[in-house]
Chains A and B, each alone.
Chain A
């Protein structure tokens, strides 16, 4: 007959869960007392956060000189970390917005954590543009186009850094609103089940008076779609703009037109890497395997495989263009990347971003949670090094050999990096404890109910015949 029938997608919620089961299993950690594991993990994150705060305070007190930067290399860990965290944030928006628009229902069980991850990652990212400034106490508001009485002083709309300010703040606010909006119906569920006075009050407040009426649901769906529509371009624009920080400059290795798509692919790649890392652990610890199934993990592995290969192509293209352009500085910069003093960072990047994700071609690997966990960590490492390679190796040998220098990070910089992981995980663990980690109401839409609520009701009231 010739026409193609797509195979029926495997069931997205397994184990024959009922609505009630979903609610129970998602809200179990929220409603029970914190266990030791959680306390330990959160405590550890807070220690990391504390170290970060100390290093940050030291930097603010003494100066950027506490970092390993120099006259030639003006950015290194700071902007690397910034781009790294912004990149991680991308998966959340992609999942919540683009996959929603495309009706990819498998997103339903992972979107909550992915969005939370986005918010926290963007918070981590937002730290760096502020603290990397020499005078953050002024810069933090001078970069905003605020009307002022200082005569003609105004921001420079030519500067990609200013575009960053707009891009990141827009991205953050849209993501936050979107995430919170999605939480409202679930907060209402928590509210309704809450026993304690405080919990009732708190979740009641968070639920914004959700009443579950058809009208409410209708408006909710509408706003979700509108926000998804708004957020979709952001997925592409934010990292495009971040890439402009480099692409619009004149430094060989930065001045590259391929950067926007390459950065976006890389961002999605790293974002999914991080989602995988988190979910592999969470589904296990919270016993959510029936909602976040192997199929979900595999779907993410496909995306990582795709975007990893895309960045691989981008890396190769850069080299090709460097050679093809015949530009001395350009070709030197790229050869230096791979074979210069920082060759090891380049090859870490290549291995983790291009080579190891290829293992996802194998079903066995995709379905092994241990392998997935390791590979997803590799993706994170690789993407961090990608930014390091772009920033440091391009700067350390630019035009005039007289200024060539080397960069060695100080423990303060490591401390701040650790601190952002502290921020991230502290927030994430708090989220995991106090918020429903899986979008319950969306997961419930996926359950192929053997018996509908009406049937259930009918069963319980047997005298009413079923039609």
Chain B
């Protein structure tokens, strides 16, 4: 607005006053004060002294405060030279073979160089991916802090290997060439080990090798051995048998090669919808075993009756009159069904270690034409090498020996019947050496306790079945200054090579020529080490060459040493075999003699085995599949006797038999033959075995007898006398044992009510003939109007993880429990806490009885049901958590967020399946649990932990996650490889280890998956479906093969 406009409003304008002009200009237009605040001046750091002091003061205080917190120093040391194939954070898998557990093929998961999980090798023909619990758990023994860290010489002197070699070799040499040296070991099917022993013998011709098994199957081997290099027992094809008759053979639980047999058995038991057939399993046994619990018809028989039954089957099959027909004509029925099965379609197995019994059973199988079909003598098993006859005079022999060497933890002071005598004689032997991974009862009395490697630290081989070769490769360098007995024997034999070189030599000369496809031995070796398995030809000249080689290599042995010639290492010698008729007469004589006396049975358990690994909390806390007891052995007392006498679980009693006695708690067992008592071996190791095994159970090996030149696990005239004390047993399942069935609580009516609950809502079952008529037999599912819901179903667009469990295949062995423990870093809590019902197992096997517990006629049945988080789509736990610590994933998983959990336990209360586990205490690094939770306490023990799974803190809830870390791993793997996830990838830890392939896991949204097919199987149902939790675990009904007689069903 310039001066002298036409019109002016006032003098100020007229005069063009500067202040007026300014206001005039800004009258209606005001700039936002942005410019001011965005000016350089205010944006720039412009602090005065005061601000500086404030910030400085704050910084100083903050730094001082943070410094108050003690930060643990954690060192991450990088590899200087990165080992080949090791990528931090990525697991590597290697094939190997366990030196225990029947020589099954193993895959070991290794993280940053340490083995953290043992699984079955799917390429191994023996176990085909299955794995047994003891082998899986033995991983922890690698990290056992009680291990011998360095060899021990006389008067507790710590010795380096060089000194050991010098001392012992000079002693051996000073004994002279004719010195009598005893090599005492357990069954070892490895060919290279065999050659090694021969090598040793060549150097010390006076050597006698003694092989024994604490729980022996010598009689079976004796009747089947052909005088060859190995003792042999038949290879069994349970999958081919239409009728299986088990005679006290716990072939699914503990007998010879349970993983292998379970594979076959389960295959024969699985019922397909198209072709509903399955094998029929009849079982006679004194106590309820895992195998008996799976039988279609299981009749309890005391050992004497069992003898008569074996004789009776033979009598029946040869067309004679059956002397003892058994309860409800059970023997007669077995004969009838065996006959009906047709030639070569049945299988009779007998676990009685008695030559007469085995002779008759062999004759039975011959009559039935089973040799060549269900019984494979082309590939016999070499798993049983223990020769009882070697042991009969062991004490006398030992007292005359110049030296004794105990190989591979052989521990006769503990696990031999005359252990106390051995203990007396042993200190007098001139030179005594024991190879042990940690001191045991025997090594304690030896001059030398040599630190032996764990099987994961050494080279070795195995030949569990003829021509099935496995290689054991080390997964980790020995943690301590230990060396395998084989490597040591190499040195003592004067061979400067390692045992590894001998293995290669033996394999190149003796195994490679037998049908290897590879052009060179080198590639054959590499492939075999990678696969862990090689199947050699058994036909043709193989056997001959082997024999020839044997003869060629050790010709001196027989010539030079008369004693060795008289009693060579294997079974061909010994007393001559009786003929079936004589044996049958002997069996009947035994029956007549013992039928009215009370009998005592010693048995091998699925959970603890022979007791070698007693210092392993995973095994101690692995509940017995039948009694569900952990951390103890006990006297199994028949329900009928207990009821008569008024005994109950946990009553401490003295069992007396044959002048020996033992005090143990009683466990009352339904389905056990009257007047029969049973105790399992493997316990009572004493303080020497380590902090875990200390004080657990009692040793019953001293009560083993000898009969007809073999160990007898049955004795007569047992008495049980309660001492008036009662202790709490650490059982993982207490009810629906006999308690509820007894009159004490509701009586028979109550029992029926519970049976109906189990049958209607929990474990559904049907019979084969009903299933043939209708595919939905026994599987009544709730109708639609019962299944309305207030909730929206979760959307699962990507994957929908689900599991199916075939109850017809599951035997209840519980190998999955241990597998789950190892995979998921599950705390072991010890006897007291299990007794408090606070075991932490994410996966358990529920077992339910059906029928009268007092039954003696085969009308008591059992079902096993694996139970873990059902990953419900309508999860009751999810709605009640106040802080959303358990939430649903969009892949159908019910996720537990440990960090968020505050431990109200509402979720666990509201879980109909009771699968959630609460951390009642801090289980890790807690001295209260140092003797039981070694995997989360010891510096060494902690190495076993799976780094992919959090170790849970005190006060949080945990549960099965469907092995979410494995899912994630496989997803990433597929992503890296740029492919879709395939069905094969997905195995949870439980499913992986299952020897019965009962557990299938996969993606329901993938219509080609196995799980998708199973979800459309008409046998499928969910547990407690009426509650409408919509579980992601499907069970397939159990089908029982009633055979010819439907009335066998105890509920009808």
Contacts and interface: CB of A to CB of B under 8 A. Distances in A.
A75 B836 CA distance: 15
B121 to A, nearest CB: 33
B904 A249 contact: no
Contacts of A339: 746
A177 B696 CA distance: 61
Interface string A140-171: 00110000000001111011111001000000
B757 A161 contact: no
Interface string B874-895: 0010011111100000000000
Nearest to A64: B920
Interface in B837-861: 837-839, 844, 846-848
Contact of A401 (B757, B909, B919): B757
B9 to A, nearest CB: 57
Contacts of A139: 883, 902-904
B722 interface: no
Contacts of A341: 745
Contacts of A328: 756-757, 760-761
Interface string A374-412: 000000000000000000000101111111111000000
B735 A401 contact: yes
Contact of B912 (A138, A142, A250, A397): A250
A322 to B, nearest CB: 14
Contacts of B908: 71, 74
A402 B882 contact: no
B956 interface: yes
Nearest to A408: B836
Contacts of A249: 876, 880, 909-910
Interface in B903-956: 903-906, 908-910, 912-914, 916-922, 953-956
Given A158-B879, A399-B912, A153 B837 contact: no
B882 A143 contact: yes
A135 B880 contact: no
A155 B884 contact: yes
Contacts of A70: 836-838
A248 B880 contact: yes
Contact of A134 (B745, B919, B1024): B919
A72 interface: yes
B918 A134 contact: yes
Contacts of B955: 63-64, 133-135
Given A153-B900, A154-B884, A69 B920 contact: yes
Given A134-B919, A153-B900, A402-B846, A71 B914 contact: yes
**How big is the A interface, by class?**
35 or more
B922 A142 contact: no
B880 A134 contact: no
A134 B848 contact: no
B108 interface: no
B655 to A, nearest CB: 28
B797 to A, nearest CB: 20
B848 A401 contact: yes
A62 interface: yes
A248 B881 CA distance: 12
B837 A162 contact: no
Contact of A250 (B745, B848, B1027): B1027
A126 B889 CA distance: 33
A134 B919 CA distance: 8
A341 B847 CA distance: 22
B736 A402 contact: yes
A332 interface: yes
Interface string B716-754: 000000000000000001111000100001100000011
Given A64-B955, A138-B902, A401-B735, A156 B913 contact: no
B901 interface: yes
Nearest to B845: A402
A250 B910 contact: yes
Interface residues of B, number: 62
B762 interface: yes
Interface in A274-300: none
A430 to B, nearest CB: 32
Contacts of B917: 71
A65 interface: yes
B900 A74 contact: no
Nearest to B905: A74
B377 interface: no
B910 A251 contact: yes
B168 interface: no
Given A64-B955, A250-B910, A401-B758, A156 B920 contact: no
B880 A159 contact: yes
A132 interface: yes
Contacts of B954: 63, 134-135
Contacts of A74: 905-906, 908-909, 918
A133, A160, A250, A339: most-surrounded residue (chain B CB, <10 A): A250
Contacts of B919: 63, 134
A329 B758 CA distance: 11
A297 B847 CA distance: 57
B836 to A, nearest CB: 6
Nearest to B909: A74
Interface string A431-452: 0000000000000000000000
A289 to B, nearest CB: 46
A62 B745 contact: no
A71 B829 CA distance: 13
A32 to B, nearest CB: 47
A156 B903 contact: no
B882 A404 contact: no
A395 B909 CA distance: 7
A404 B844 CA distance: 14
Interface string A240-262: 00000100111100000000000
A155 B884 CA distance: 6
A63 B953 CA distance: 11
A165 B920 contact: no
A135 B903 contact: yes
Contacts of A406: 734
A248 B883 CA distance: 17
B903 A398 contact: no
A262 to B, nearest CB: 20
A65 B954 CA distance: 10
A179 to B, nearest CB: 28
B956 A134 contact: yes
Nearest to B847: A402
A339 B744 CA distance: 12
Contact of B881 (A156, A165, A399, A402): A156
A162 B906 CA distance: 12
A464 B883 CA distance: 74
B906 A133 contact: no
Contacts of B836: 68, 70
A254 to B, nearest CB: 8
A251 B1029 CA distance: 12
B905 A134 contact: yes
B882 A71 contact: no
Contacts of A397: 735
Given A136-B902, A250-B1027, 16 more contacts: A63-B920, A65-B833, A65-B838, A65-B920, A69-B920, A71-B837, A71-B916, A133-B902, A134-B904, A156-B883, A162-B882, A248-B880, A399-B913, A401-B740, A401-B754, A401-B848
26 contacts: A64-B918, A68-B836, A69-B920, A71-B917, A74-B905, A75-B905, A75-B909, A134-B957, A135-B954, A136-B902, A139-B883, A139-B903, A143-B902, A159-B879, A162-B882, A328-B757, A328-B761, A329-B757, A339-B746, A341-B745, A399-B762, A399-B1024, A400-B867, A401-B740, A402-B846, A406-B734
The 8 lowest CB-CB distance pairs between A and B, nearest first, are: A134-B903, A134-B955, A65-B920, A139-B902, A74-B905, A402-B846, A70-B837, A403-B914
Interface of A: 62-65, 68-72, 74-75, 132-136, 138-139, 142-143, 153-156, 158-162, 165, 245, 248-251, 328-329, 332, 339, 341, 395, 397-406
